[in-house]
Amino acid sequence: MIAQRLAGERLHLSHGPMDVVLRGWGAAHEVAAAELAAAARFATILQELVAELPTLRAAVGAETRLDGPVARRMLAGCLPFARQGVFVTAMAAVAGAVADEVLAAMRAAAPGLRRAYVNDGGDIAVFVAPGESLTLGMVADPAGSPARAGGCARGPVADFDGTLSLGHGMGIGGVATSGRHGRSFSLGIADAVTVLARDAATADAAATLIANAVDVESPAVRRRAARALDPDSDLGDRPVTVSLGPLDEAEIAAALDAGAARAEAWCRAGLIRGAALRLAGRARIAGASVPALPEHAA
């Protein structure tokens, strides 16, 4: 495991494919205790997950049984959507579940924290004490603009085009973003789907599944079987998006409508609090918690 301090008092923890960036606010001793607890908890998570990897990569159903605390958070995050008849594996919630678990460890070690977040690759668990608020930036297009020409750019630094202020009592403990630009495969073509939910595991699973639903049949969409790219993919032979050419306005609208229909249904069912969907410079909003987003043609 690697831990390092980033600018702005943030702590970066890394182990294998897992990276979290976290920060807590409060009395200095509380923050220090929270960071130590986070690092201690984080250190063993990967091994715990690997122990149950075959089950985690299988379709979630009523009969799925998992033992580890993070695995169970993953299952809990996915199960409501599996019950809606959607194919999902527990891996859809892995990042969010890790963030939830680390945040829980921080809060247990530092009950006086005023606010905190744990960001696992864009899937964020948040805590806000009464009277506090936390502002998050929202990403229009995770592929974004390259940070700078030449020089140091090794990964895109995304543009923010929306901000979200989370307060205590909003019932939002997780914010997750999914799309075809992330590390994971997407069955859909969304640039980004951001979901607000009670916890990060739920938000993560929902964002993945709504992004999968942002889809349209078009010659511009190139797909390949997930296993042809990653022999261990939990998506098996399902076709995942590998590239996307230019879409016309009707195709964009159709794809966003398909995703928005799923998002709105899940908002109404109380599974998520809200969602923002983006594709090719267009956006859709579902639920009440998400601010309106600017639109711009790609």
Partner 1 sequence: MSDRVSAQARSEKYGQSEGDGIIRCDACPVLCRIRPGRSGACSRYANEDGQLVRTDPALALAQTLEAGRPVVAFAEGAWDGKLLDPGRAFVTGIGAGTTYPDYKPAPFIVGATHAGVDTVTVVTEGMFSYCGVKVKIDTDRHLGPEAAPVRAKGEQVGHVTTAEYGSQMLSLGGVRHLTGGSKKEGNVTCETLLALCAAEPVTLTIDGGHEVVVQAGQAPIVDGTPERRMRVGCGSATVGIFAQQWLGHADEVIVVDDHITGVLSEHQAGKVLGMRATGIRVRGRRSTPGRYFQVAAPGLGWGGTDITDPLAIIESIDPKLAWPGLRLLLTSTTGEDALWCVLDEQLRPIPAEMPKPVRTVVERIGENCEPSLCTVLFMAGAGGSLRAGVTENPVLLTRAVAAGEVRVTMGGAPVYLWPGGGITVMADVLRFPGNAFGHVPTPALVAPIEFTLPRALYQRLGGHMDEIVPVEELLRGLGEQLRVEGWMPGNPWPFAKP
Contact positions toward partner 1, by CB under 8 A? 1-7, 11-12, 14-17, 19, 32, 35-36, 39-40, 43, 46-47, 50, 53, 147-148, 150-155, 157, 183, 228-232
Strand, helix or coil for residue 155: coil
Residue 30 C-beta: closest distance to partner 1, Å: 13
Strand, helix or coil for residue 264: helix
For partner 1, give the closer residue by CB, 108 or 229: 229
For partner 1, give the closer residue by CB, 40 or 269: 40
Residue 287 C-beta: closest distance to partner 1, Å: 31
Residue 19 C-beta: closest distance to partner 1, Å: 5
The DSSP element (H or E) to which 79 belongs, if any, is: helix 69-82
For partner 1, give the closer residue by CB, 226 or 275: 226
Strand partners, 197: 174
CA distances from 264 to 195, 219, 240, 276 (A): 11, 28, 24, 11
For partner 1, give the closer residue by CB, 15 or 168: 15
Rounded Cα gap, residues 223 and 158, in angstroms: 25
Which residue do the tokens 């506090």 mark?
132
Residue 141 C-beta: closest distance to partner 1, Å: 18
Residue 294 C-beta: closest distance to partner 1, Å: 26
For partner 1, give the closer residue by CB, 51 or 298: 51
Rounded Cα gap, residues 143 and 102, in angstroms: 27
CA quadruple 205, 211, 212, 216: dihedral, nearest 10:
170
